[in-house]
Amino acid sequence: MTAVLDACAVIAFLREETGADVVERVLMQQDCMIHAVNLAEVYVDALRRGESKEVANEMVEDLENLGLEVRADLNPALWERAVEIKASGGIAFADCFASSLTERVEGKLYTADRKEMQRFADSSEFEVTFIR
């Protein structure tokens, strides 16, 4: 099963926060992907921490070298589903793309966003693993 990582899972991994070990294990053992919208959040996090664009670019390159596939597709089926999820409320727009991608690839979403993603974990829409 393909693992889909959201931004908070990747940030936890990069910053060696709680749950980083879970993300590392997934990156080493499974096919993993992230939507470009979520990767952009990781990039923004680096810039907000005062890191340069060069450092942010190196982080992205390191993730890709670990085998993380970046999905940049925005076909109507993907973004329309993301919009439907957003319209249902309670979830950040970028996480809607992670959710839509997870459904599309019939994967498992890895996240630290328990508050926002618990409803998906409680439903059968797709499988969610909380890294902490």
pLDDT band at 124 (very low <50, low <70, confident <90, very high): confident
| Angle 29-24-124 from CA coordinates, rounded to 5° | 70
Mean pLDDT of the chain: 95
The DSSP string of 51-82 is: --HHHHHHHHHHHHHTTEEEE----HHHHHHH
Q: Among residues 46, 23, 41, 21, which one has the least CA distance to residue 111? A: 23
| pLDDT tens readout for residues 65-94 | 999 999 999 999 999 999 999 999 889 999
| pLDDT tens readout for residues 3-45 | 999 999 999 999 999 999 999 999 999 999 999 999 999 999 9
| Angle 29-41-100 from CA coordinates, rounded to 5° | 65
Number of domains in the chain: 1
Which pLDDT belongs to residue 2?
97
pLDDT band at 130 (very low <50, low <70, confident <90, very high): very high
Domain CATH number, residue 98? 3.40.50.1010
Alpha carbon of residue 110 to chain centroid: 7
